[in-house]
Chain A
């Protein structure tokens, strides 16, 4: 820790440090020093921060700025950088895009919400909102009156020009870059297309059937959850997590509840911990089953869809028995879970985990071995380990590329350090491996549930909390492993009932950011297979 501090002080003499007694050092640097620091962070042997965990835009009150979270997969250390732009009228910061692939999307998001311009970013357009949107919604002084931004029913103007900014002799210059050349053949896929898994819009430039470039447009389901959370009390905010990635609803909620509990210093009962882990794993299984159903359907096989949904319903029944919802479960609360398990829960779950392994071979028989599937997935859309880390891809997609990043194993939360399971790792990085990782993870989840059921303790299912929850001042971060990767929650509290800023780190935004990388040079039909194997959920991208 102290060496890290000394090294950063070497590069940025004016940096201010905090949180030195914890395991994550926080350093506040000025925008001028930041540009130079990026290179060192990425390449210096002592740092090697290759994974950008998150990039959080912030309105600090007086100034706008950004909080970076970096992690080094090599040295297993973490650092938080804070940087505030100098002026509020024209906030400018150096871009991190040359060093981390995912910075491209993150910085566009920050530009969209806060209006911070990143110097050196190749494509400074809005990511979520319409091009003609007025104002930057996550600023504290944003005027949300509907007169300024009415519901427009004319088509969104889409320019072929993307601006970028560069610095020359101390002056900021704007340049226009052409996204597609005049003679390029561009096909629009989405926002209403069954294979985009929701409302996502791809602009695909083609040469014959070969994809030259994919430009992703998000925001067709951007619901402004983060802004709404700023005016809600903590117990109210947890309702929105379920609606992000609705297939990992339990896990998302787990992250936010755990983050708030940690900040409050609340110890939750053992039984509640076990219940949460059990529900998390059940919901992982149902999410993977749905992935299987959708993947098959996208490639034209309809029967497997019925198989997967038949078994998924069994899990939903188990949820419902205990008082959770079918899809949006609303089950976890701050301090534990809302109701105790149904008396039949253990029996039914035990039955289910006995039953599922007997039908999984059937799944593989009907689909996995199929020649068409094999040809459309093997060797298609290869993501290397370096690309996965640089683009912030986590979860099954990253594990298929050989990056061991399962948070349940490497930063165990809840009771995951008390159970034995294998982290499924494959090294091919293609669609087939991404698919197989998920199918194999179902077996691991079954193993986890089996152990948890045997150990399930008696006792309280919820800790007592005060009716009004106030978090002490500070910044809190917590992440869990959902069915799609690392889902993080960042809370900045100023000691009030409401969070000052609440940011969700979605696992699906990195997934969709690599679509361009994976499809380039492939056939257009591969785009469908790649999209299905990445298994993103669009409301989670857009929040």
Chain B
């Protein structure tokens, strides 16, 4: 199926093409009316993504500089940084996450209202970065939270940060809002510890989360059907 081209000002669509996973979001098609409504709401949502003021270390300073005049993320609607997770749409995990911080981060994420997104900013948030061998560093936030966009760099350049945030916008634009994103949150339950070799915790907890890459696995029937139609 041809997928719709999301319109984002200032960046040619071709530059987005490297990210096949986004196509998954629109695989099944939508009804006309719901689709139009989706588009309207997503247009609004993607242009007013409010980030949480959250930074643990170095990358946070670059997050500050995209707030300033030179890079100015107000152009994209990200400028309303919120100090309270209740009012934020996206948590930009800028900086190293260490063992002591992990439960705090998870709690912040749980306090955010759905639909919510996670952006891992910098090598530290992706994999532990330069500190990956340390005894006290979590090797990537994706061990704790479902991440939507990874932005590499140590620190990420402000341009890269903006690009990453635009990827998130593109993703939001292609989501089904009705029936998926606006669904209820899964019930919270006791959090165990992560032991090596185990599945990340969120896998169990956020299985139903619609924007996860592995959410596609929850719809095996749709998958096979589509595969069949393709084969025909």
Spell out A's residues near B (CB within 8 Å). 128-130, 137, 142, 144, 146-147, 149-156, 191-194, 198-199, 219-225, 227-228, 231, 239-240, 243, 246-247, 290, 293, 305-306, 309-310, 312-313, 325-328, 538-539
Contact = CB atoms under 8 A, between A and B. Distances in A.
A306 B68 contact: yes
Residue of B58, B61, B69, B136 most packed against chain A (CB within 10 A): B136
A144 B143 contact: no
A158 B54 CA distance: 23
Contact of A240 (B57, B100, B130, B135): B130
Given A220-B56, A228-B131, 7 more contacts: A151-B144, A152-B103, A154-B193, A156-B100, A227-B134, A228-B133, A313-B70
A153 B131 contact: no
14 contacts: A129-B136, A147-B195, A151-B193, A152-B103, A154-B103, A156-B103, A191-B104, A198-B57, A220-B56, A220-B101, A243-B57, A246-B61, A310-B68, A326-B157
Nearest to A290: B61
Contacts of B131: 223-225, 228
Contacts of A155: 103, 107
A153 B192 contact: yes
Contacts of A191: 101, 104
Given A150-B195, A221-B98, A227 B135 contact: yes
B37 interface: no
B83 interface: yes
B122 to A, nearest CB: 10
Interface of B: 53-58, 60-62, 64-65, 68-70, 83, 85, 95-96, 98-104, 106-108, 130-131, 133-138, 143-144, 154-155, 157, 190-196, 201
- Minimum-distance CB pairs A-B, first 3: A309-B68, A224-B134, A153-B191
A324 B53 CA distance: 28
B157 A150 contact: no
A156 B133 CA distance: 23
B100 A219 contact: yes
A309 B71 CA distance: 10
Contacts of A306: 68-69
Contacts of B83: 193-194
A221 B62 contact: no
Contacts of A129: 100, 136
Contacts of B194: 150-151, 153
A522 B85 CA distance: 29
Contact of B53 (A156, A194, A246): A194
